[in-house]
């Protein structure tokens, strides 16, 4: 049995995997960009997906950007009062 008949299938699968990975990378960047620019969106993420917001805070802290979490909590507590 020659490997020729499997080549088109392998190429198609590889292209599909690469497309899915690119979609995931661009989706993650879009989510990060929206969270980075909108405190209201971060509040929504805090209510719906707190673990995702925690990853956002940690990634910024690892990059040396501190204080976002504290400003968010301060602003959100001021809105509730």
pLDDT by residue (tens digit) across 10-19? 899 999 999 9
Per-residue tokens: 45: 């993420």
Which residue in the block uniquely carries the two structure tokens 């805090």? 46
- pLDDT > 60? residue 28: yes
Residue 77 has pLDDT above 70, yes or no: yes
**CA of residue 46 relative to chain centroid, distance:** 14
Residue 29 has pLDDT above 90, yes or no: yes
User: Is residue 3 scored above 70 in pLDDT?
Assistant: no
């Amino acid at each position: 049995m020659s490997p020729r008949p499997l080549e088109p299938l392998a190429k198609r699968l590889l292209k599909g995997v690469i497309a899915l990975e690119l979609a995931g990378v661009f989706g993650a960047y879009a989510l990060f960009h929206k969270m980075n620019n909108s405190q209201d969106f971060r509040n929504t993420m805090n209510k719906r997906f707190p673990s995702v917001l925690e990853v956002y805070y940690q990634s910024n802290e690892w990059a040396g950007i501190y204080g976002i979490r504290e400003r968010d909590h301060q602003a959100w507590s001021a809105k509730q009062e």
